[in-house]
Amino acid sequence: MANVRYRFQKPGLISAAVALLAATLATLAVLQYRWIGQTSDGEREKMQKSVKLAAENLSRDFDRELTRTYLEMQIDSTSFERKDWENYALRFHRWKTTAAYPKLVGKVFVADNERGTLHLSAYDETKQRFEETTWLPQFARVKSEIERDLSGAEKNCKVEFLAPDIPALIIPISTVNLLDLQNVQVSSAQNESQIRNLVRCSGYTIVLLDSDYIESELFPLLVSRYFNSAVNDEDSHYDVTVVNRTEPPQIIYQSDSPALPETLDKGDAESDLFALRFDEIQSLLSAAPRLQKQSPTSEEKQERAVSVSVLIAPQSGSNSAMTAAGALFGDERGRWQLIARHRNSSLEAAVETMRQRNLIVSFGILLLLATSGILLVVLSNRSRNFARRQTNFVASVTHELRTPLAVIRAASENIADGIIADNAEIREYGILIKDEERRLSAMVEQVLEFAGAQTANRQHYENRRENIAVMVRAALGDYKSELEDRGFQVVLEIESDLPEIRADREALRRAIGNLVGNAVKYAGEIREKRRLEISVRAAPDKMSKQVEIVVKDNGAGIEKYDLPHIFKLFYRGRKAAESQIKGSGIGLSLVKQIVEAHGGKISVVSETGRGSTFALRLPAATDSDLDGIFTHQNL
C-alpha cells in the first residue's frame, strides 16, 4: 500500500463519521467487557451449582441403594434362632430382582457366638441357606470388634454398621427388625437407654460389597449419568475421585488421571457417600411389607406393634451417645468422600479461560469493525486521490498535446501564408515541425500504451532478437534536438560484443527514451553543467547472462520521501508538482511495466540536487528463444 499522507482541510462528514465510529466502538468495548464479566460470573455460579448438585445426586443414588440393601438384608433374631432361611431366601431373591444395582452385593455372611465360639457362615444362593466357612483375611478388624461385642453380657450392638476399612455393611441380628416397623420418627431428644434396651444383638449379618463392580461399572455409570450425558468418562468436563476416609486416604475410584495426595481436598464440589441415609428409610420401609412371604403369627404381630424413635447424636456429643447413634445407623458423614474437579485444573480456571476466549472473540470483532472503518476511510481518500490524479493526468496530457499541435499549426500557417519564403527558414521550420511531430507521436504512443495496459490488465509485445545498442542509440536520437537545445553533454558508452536480447523493439525504445526525456525535463539550473551518461554493458548473473543499461544525469534528483513511490501509477513527486513541471505520472510506471514484461528489473539511486541513476537489467537471449508474441499480465 502506498505511503500516502492524508489530510482533511476541515472537519467534514467523513471526519465526523470517523469520530462517531471511534466513540461507538469504545463504548461497545467497555460494555462488552462488563457484560462478559457479568456473564462469566453467572456461568461460574451456574457451573458451581450444577457440579454440586451432580455430586449430591450421585451420592444420594449410591447411598439410597446402600440403605435399601441394609434394610432388606437384615435377619431378625427369631428367624436366626430357628434357622428359618426360607423367608430370607425369598427376600434376597426379591431384592436381587428389583434392585437397581443387583451386582452391588458380592457375598453375604452371618457371624454368631454360638456355644462361646465365634462362627462365620456364608449364604449359598443355590441352596438358599447359610453354611459355615472360614474367616476371610479382610474381616480381621470386623471379627475382633464382633467378638468383643458378642462376648459381653449386654450385647447391645456396639459394632458400627459400616465397616471402616472394607466396603461392607455390618447389620445386627437383633430383637427388632426394622423391616417390621410401621413408623420411624427421627428425634434428637430420645434417650440413649431406650435404644439400648430395645435393640440387643445375637449376631451380625456381614454384607460384603463387590469392590471390583463398584470401581469398574457402578461409579463409571453414575459419573456418566450425573456429570455428563456421554457414555465415556473422557467426554466429561469433570474428573471424579472417590476416596476412603482413612489416614492416608485410599482411592476407591478415579475417572481420569491419578489424583495427587495434595489435591484430594481441592475439589470444585465434594459430597459424602457410603452412608445410611435417614431421610430414605421411611420411604423404603413403606414398601417393605410387600416382601413378606406369609401372614405373620400372633407373636410376630405383637413384635411389630412396637413404635421406635431413632436417636441421632450430634457430632460433638458424648462418646456413649456417639456409640448409640453409630451402632444403629453408622457414620453420618459417610465412609467415603466424592471429589469432583474440572479438567482445566479447576472450575475457576475453566471459567476464566472461557471469559478470555469470549473477550478475544468480542474484541476481535470490534477490531475487525474498527479496521474495516479505517480501511473504508483510507480507501475513500485513496479513491479521491486517484480520481484527482486521473483528472490531473487528463489535464496534463491535454496540455502537452496542445503544445506541439499549436507549434505545428503556427509553423504550417506561416509557411502556407507565404510569411516564410527563405529556403533556410523553411528548412528550419520543417525541422521544428518534425521535432514537434515526433514529440506528439511519442506522447500519443505513451497514452495508447497506458490505455492498452489498463484494458483487462494485459499488454501484448512482439518477441524478437534485438541488438540493445541499436535501440539505445535510437532512443537517444529521438531526443537529440531537446538535448541540444538544453545544452546537454551526452556520454554514451557501449561495450563491444554485447549479447542480443529478446524484446519488443518499440516498447523497449520508448522505455529508454522515457528515462532520457526525464533527464531533460528535470535538468539542473546551470546549463553548462548539464550532463547525461548512458552505458550499456554485459552483467553476468549467477543463473544467466544479462545486459545492463544505466542512465545517469546530474539534475534535480528525487527526494527520499518520493523515491519508493516513483514507479506507481499517476504518482508525481512533491517537488515536481510545486515547480509545475509538465508530466502525467505514468511514464516511470510504464517503464517498470515494460522492463518487467521482458523479464528484467529496474532500480534507481538518487540524491536531491545531485541527479539520479536508473539501471535496467534485461536477460540476454538464448539459442532456444523464438520470435513471436508474448503477453504480459499486470498483477
Beta bridge partners of 187: 311
pLDDT in tens, 89-135: 888 888 888 888 999 999 999 988 876 788 899 999 888 889 989 98
Q: Which residue type does 124 have?
A: D
pLDDT in tens, 506-554: 888 888 888 888 888 888 777 778 889 999 998 876 667 889 999 999 8
Please report which confidence band the pLDDT of residue 263 belongs to, taking 50, 70 and 90 as the band edges.
low
Q: What is the pTM of this model?
A: 0.52
241 versus 363: which is more confidently predicted?
A: 241
E-strand ranges in 387-480 read 458-466
Please report which confidence band the pLDDT of residue 555 belongs to, taking 50, 70 and 90 as the band edges.
confident
Instruction: List Cβ<8 Å contacts ≥24 apart for 595-604.
Output: 595/511, 596/632, 597/459, 597/461, 597/507, 597/630, 597/632, 598/461, 598/501, 598/502, 598/503, 598/504, 598/508, 600/546, 602/567, 604/558, 604/563, 604/566
Q: How far apart are CA 108 and CA 125, in angstroms?
A: 10
pLDDT in tens, 24-50: 888 888 888 888 888 778 777 888 888
Q: Please, what is the average pLDDT of the chain?
A: 75
Q: How far apart are CA 39 and CA 617, in angstroms?
A: 64
Q: Which residue type does 393 have?
A: F
- Among 388-402, 467-481, 565-579, the range of highest mean pLDDT: 467-481
- Among 101-105, 184-188, 624-628, the range of highest mean pLDDT: 101-105
Cell of 244: 476412603
pLDDT score for 173 = 83
Q: What share of the chain is helix, strand, coil (3-state, %, to 5)?
A: 50, 20, 30
Mean pLDDT value across residues 463-478 = 87
